[in-house]
Amino acid sequence: MYIMPLPSFSGDIEKNIVRHIKYRGTVRTGEVVADNGDGTYDVKIALSDEIYPNVETIHYEMKFEIGEIAVLAFEYGSKELPKIIGHSKKIAQVPVEIEVDYSGTARVETLSAYSVTSSTAYLEARISLGGAGNCTRRGFEYGTTTAYGNDTHTDGSYGAGSYAIQITSLTRSTVYHFRAYIIDENGDTQYGDDKQFTAGSNLVSSDDVSLTIYIHSGVSSGILSSFASPADSPFGLAYDGTNLISSDVDTKKIYIHDGVSSGVSSSFASPGGGWPVGLAYDGTNLISMEVDTEMIYVHSGVTSGISSSFPTPAVYTYGLTYDGTNLISSEIAAGTIYIHDGVSSGVSSSFPSPDVDPYGLAYDGTNLISCDVDAKKIYIHSGVSSGVSSSFASPANVPVGLVYI
């Protein structure tokens, strides 16, 4: 009768123990009774009163709790102390013949989402290897429930540390669940905890002194993140559903960003060669405005091409937005806001702005939003009217551009 020989651990105990091996009489479980703080533990062997002191962990980054059941390995035929190879997975207490399904010590922690907009978000996680080899995949599952349904990942060789992946095509004001996962060197999938975020709608503002673009938390004074503007005078802001667009008075250029970030994918000169102070997007075309040439330009899509143009309603028109039907512009010094007839030079009505220098305008789907350089404030209007329902201080000194994403 053939008898399977006991495994030999004389070469490498980790190689023989940690790799899904069946072996006889070499593994037991025990209760951790003391953490010695040096990577060793005192362990009381199951089904006996025997306590092994200073049991060494093979992977020193693995942490145990007092009272936890640990898996121990004994090098066959040796009088050495046992070594801890992992947390118990309800392994049988009788050490006759045991298969240890030990999935390695690589772990992943799900971190919070960041730079969340109405359609995009960055998901972040952190890998710890605990002495194991690199992972072959890292990614996230995400969706509107804990069933997730969506997956994003990259394949390669990944060591310990943080990683992030951007997800897109989100639905505004929707709660999303997500969890990180990795595939470790053994081919086992490890998951992080579930977390969630809401794909929000956020105000974005720009400042002409700090030369910074700020992403607000909703429409409030809270700031989720910020980044440097592409040049020295970021007066105008717009959003085309995917990318932020900014205009700069100093360079007389319009910049197409990579999403809502400091990255710029392309740029082109302001169409009239003047100072582009206001931007808007009507769902199809970019609209830009120059204060010195006193012209408003309707672009062909989001390009340098111009399909039409018309004069601004006043000399010092700076702010521009679109409410789904009509273009809205604002004049500084006189402190006036104009409602246009569609996207044209015609003006159907006007009303005073909350203060004298309304440099930037935005529209959130219900209410007009304006920012004033003199007051250093951002105002939430009551609908599209002179009434103001609330206001808050701008993030810096000279708020000049607004857009609602």
Share of the chain above pLDDT 90, in %: 60
Query: How far does CA 348 lie from the centroid of its chain?
Result: 42
Q: Looking at domain 107-199, does it have CATH number 2.60.40.10? A: yes
Tokens linked to 251:
């360079």
Mean pLDDT to the nearest integer, 239-255: 94
What is the reported pLDDT for 163? 97
Tens digits of per-residue pLDDT, 191-218?
999 998 878 788 999 999 999 999 998 8
Q: State how far the Cα of 93 lies from the Cα of 337, in Å rounded to an integer.
A: 79
Nearest 10 degrees: Cα torsion 225, 230, 233, 239: -60
168 Rama sector, left if φ>0, alpha if ψ -120 to 50, beta otherwise: beta
Residue 282, H or E segment? none
Half-sphere exposure of 153 (CA within 13 A, CB side): 19
What is the reported pLDDT for 32? 87
Angstrom distances, CA of residue 295 to CA of 35, 267, 291, 329: 74, 20, 7, 12
Given a cut of 70, whether residue 37 has pLDDT beyond it is yes
Q: Give ranges for CATH 2.120.10.30 in the chain.
A: 203-404
Q: Give ranges for CATH 2.60.40.10 in the chain.
A: 107-199
Given a cut of 50, whether residue 1 has pLDDT beyond it is no
pLDDT classification of 80: cutoffs 50, 70, 90: low
Return the closest-CA partner of residue 244 out of 128, 395, 402: 402
Q: Is 180 helix (H, G, I), strand (E, B) or coil?
A: strand
Q: Could you please state the CATH topology (level 3) that the domain comprising 23-99 is classified under.
A: OB fold (Dihydrolipoamide Acetyltransferase, E2P) (2.40.50)
Return the closest-CA partner of residue 64 out of 91, 99, 36: 36
Q: Give ranges for CATH 2.40.50.140 in the chain.
A: 23-99
- pTM of the full predicted structure? 0.56
pLDDT classification of 97: cutoffs 50, 70, 90: very low
Tokens linked to 373:
């350089």
Q: Could you please state the CATH topology (level 3) that the domain comprising 203-404 is classified under.
A: Neuraminidase (2.120.10)
